Structure 1
């Protein structure tokens, strides 16, 4: 029965890869772009999941376990996890499917995520995990606290989410798309959210049938992968382990089939951040009792205190990490001007500034920008090798320095950028004049400032 985990994981990997479905980016948008549009996709997952789990529970098909809320572990763990996913460049599931796209930086983050999660579960850091979770509030879920059915929470959440999705869909600016066959086009984020929620519902009875009373989960299974590799204990290979392995396989198949797989080696800074971020992810998720999937999608759908408080503190960690680490690079300093380089401009000054006959002035220095001029009013920005969200951050920063009507040509190889960059351009009144693939997992987009 555990092989059903492999199948569910493969479908999940395809959906997440094609939908660019990463909760880190959704939370990050709140702080970097002041936009709540993408986070609605997470609430779609939670709503579909909540309705489905409530139906399965009411029918007696499943009996979800109610996790006790350990406030110290959940708040600290959630915040540390939020910081970690900013450094690692993706949440737990995002790190798995980005690894399948060939990002070696994500491989590094995944290894340290697995090792630190394993250390918290059964290894050298287990004392920290047990100690912080010993502070138990006795609370489990909102329905249990108020003595009502989960339907009283699931239905209002679903209605509110549907209204929010309707609003954003009605006001969504049409973004430029790559000229590729329909089957190669990414899924709309809201479609992906609905599918992830549905997959989460299906996961419950299949996982329970295999002896694992839980739904989707990433951190526990990832730690179990490391435990199995180190100890050879086959009992660690459960339905959840099959799920994450299937996620990788499905995402790899999707990326390979659509030309979005290519090995990409990180620079030293990105690799270092991946080590630190991956380690923080494992520690934080273990303390909080789950990641953006286990807490942010599953426990929230059960309306547990753990799930919603963890999601809040993950968001706060993402906000703090974004403020600290997600900044555009500084523009290059202007070259020093020597006496020989100073060219006198003998063009007469305008009357408003003319103070003496024969007055002269130095020519205005050329504008300093991180982009390279390639023609009059046209600049090139090389973001090959930059991990998301840096291609968008740099694009936004450079465009702010250009004049209306000038163009910026951006080369990038961040898969998520194929959606975020043209969508940002559309929402901010800029025109995309060209958008095409330049090879496997590499693209070029030209934006005219509006």
Structure 2
């Protein structure tokens, strides 16, 4: 059953690469261009997964559990992580799939992200991480505090996201000129035709739902997750302990493989070596990502996508502070480059504008 982790990861990496599903871009665009289209697409993933995860819980396929809310570590870690993804040019999952496209900068960010996640979780800084995450409050999710059914929150989330999607679909969009199709049928759809942001989000949400029972079947009682599997992969390379190679480790390996297949099939794979400044940003951004994700208890997947779908305080608090951290990162690295005069819109640097 462990092989299902690799399959789910390949599907996730393929879809995110072809859909150009960039969480960093979603958070950054809120501040730089005041555009919420990709943030809305991200919330579509959360809403779709929320329906599925509570249905699985109600059916007894999985059992959702809650624990104390480590509020201090979540706030600090979420903010650090949000800032870091702007430096690194991608969040945890984005870094994995951009690495599969051949971006050397993403390879570097991925290495330091996984390394520092391990340092925080099981290495020299594990005591600090544990101490920070021991500052808690008992309440862990919204519906238990209000003593209502979680389906009330599911309905509100789905309705709110549906209205936001409708708003974006009703806005006029510019059609970009595209070269004539060179593929036909399924190959054209999978590797050539641009994917709609909201359709991509629905598919990712369905993959996230499927991850729950498949992961549980192997004894890993969780859904999608990137930080702990990345830490486990580093620890496996150091210790050789085969127990560390679980469903999650195969998941992240699958993301790399799936994104490579997608990039190769669409002609988007090529080795791209960054300049020195980008190398420094990638390494430092990756390190801060590992630190922030470990403190917060998850990255944009484990916290902002999976925990939010369960309406946990940790997930939604992390999401808010990740967006705030990304805002600071964007202001320091992107928005300060705006021209001091003139009424024209600011241009986002090419590297920052590219979905990662």
| TM category, shorter | over 0.9
Mark the runs of 5 or more structure 2 residues left unpaired by the alignment: 340-346
Q: Is the 8 A contact 1:20 1:186 kept in 2?
A: no
Q: What is the match of residue 387 of structure 1?
A: 351
| Partner residue in 2 for 1:281 | 289
The residue number in structure 1 matching 2:83 is 83
* Separation in structure 2 between the aligned mates of residue 7 and residue 26 of structure 1, nearest angstrom: 26
Partner of 2:342: none
Is the Cα contact below 8 Å between 1:65 and 1:213 reproduced in 2?
no
Aligned counterparts of 1:68 and 1:244: Cα–Cα separation in 2 = 27
Is residue 3 of structure 1 aligned with residue 3 of structure 2? yes
CA contact (8 A) 1:95 1:109 kept: yes
Deviations 1:167-203 (A, max 9, x none): 1111141320422344212311111111111111010
Once residues 270 and 311 of structure 2 are traced to their aligned partners in structure 1, the CA distance between those partners, rounded to angstroms, is 40
Instruction: Measure the CA separation in 2 of the matches of 1:92 and 1:113.
Output: 8
Cα distance between partner residues in 2 of 1:269 and 1:282: 20
Between structures 1 and 2, the one with greater helix share: 2
Contact kept? 2:32, 2:335, Cα under 8 Å: no
Distance in 2 between the 1:29 and 1:189 partners? 14
Deviation at 1:327, TM superposition (A): 4.2
Indicate the SS of the match to 2:138: coil
d(CA) in 1 for partners of 2:120, 2:256: 23
Say yes or no: does 1:207 pair with 2:215: yes
**3-state SS of paired residue (1:102):** coil
CA contact (8 A) 1:70 1:136 kept: yes
Deviation at 1:64, TM superposition (A): 2.0
Aligned residues: 340
Residue 104 in 1 paired to residue 112 in 2? Answer: no
SS at match of 1:38: helix
Match of 1:131 in 2: 131
Q: 1:292 to 1:172 in 2, by over 3 A?
A: farther
Deviates more, 1:46-55 or 1:175-184: 175-184
What is the CA–CA distance in structure 2 between the aligned matches of 1:70 and 1:329, rounded to whole Å?
A: 36
State the partner residue of 1:46.
Answer: 46
Contact residue 67 and residue 138 of structure 2 kept, 8 A: no
Tell me how far apart the structure 1 counterparts of residues 65 and 239 of structure 2 sit (CA, whole Å): 28
SS of 1:292's equivalent in the other structure is coil
**Deviation for aligned residue 1:245:** 0.5
For residues 232 and 32 of structure 2, the distance between their equivalents in structure 1, rounded to whole angstroms, comes to: 34
Segments ≥4 residues shifted beyond 6 Å = none
Return the offset for 1:19.
0.7
Answer with 1 or 2: which has the greater Rg: 1
Map of 1:56 onto structure 2: 56
Which residue number in structure 1 is paired with residue 119 of structure 2? 119
Cα distance change of structure 1 residues 17 and 139 upon mapping to structure 2, 3 Å threshold: same
> What does 1:272-311 correspond to in 2, within 5 Å?
272-311=280-319
Aligned to 2:343: none
Gaps of 5+ in 1: 332-380, 390-413, 418-450
Which residue of structure 1 aligns with residue 70 of structure 2? Answer: 70
Deviations 1:195-240 (A, max 9, x none): 1111110100000001001000011111111111111111111100
Q: Distance in 2 between matches of 1:186 and 1:117?
A: 34
Cα pair 2:44 2:161 within 8 Å, conserved: yes
Q: Secondary structure, in 3 states, of the residue corresponding to 2:352?
A: coil
CA–CA distance in structure 2, aligned partners of residues 155 and 330 of structure 1: 41
| Residue in structure 1 matching 2:334, options 300, 309, 326 | 326
Distance 1:225 1:129 in 2: 19
